[in-house]
Amino acid sequence: MADVKLMVLYPIPKDIAQFDSDYRDHIRLLHQKANIPEDARPYTVMRFFPTPAGPAPFYQLFTMPFPSAEALQQAMSTPEMQEVAADAVRISSGGAPVILVGSEVS
């Protein structure tokens, strides 16, 4: 089966500078709790820009691949990743983050 991706969409924050600061701490927490080396980035972070139609509905997207849906479920069921997930909700001042899981299609 293809890689499964965990995606977290963050709404536009009430205070962008505060979110950016909190997000840096959040990523440090992810590295610590998931035992990701400090210099590794097994994930991507994308910041959205306004379009000619207006502002983007979301501020930022976090994407992290897993080898399978089972591997994602196993990782997310640990107390460490539950703490990271709760922190993602805490820092999302523009509303609850949207969590998506999917895989690329050919």
pTM of the complete model: 0.92
- Which structural domain, as residue segments, surrounds residue 11? 4-102
CATH of the domain at 22: 3.30.70.100
> Which tens digit of pLDDT belongs to each residue from 10-60?
999 999 999 999 999 999 999 999 999 999 999 999 999 999 999 999 999
Q: What are the beta bridge partners of residue 72?
A: none
Measure the CA–CA gap between 77 and 91, rounded to whole angstroms: 21
Residue 1 pLDDT exceeds 60: no
When divided into structural domains, the chain yields a total of 1
- Dihedral sign for Cα atoms in the order 103, 61, 42, 99: negative
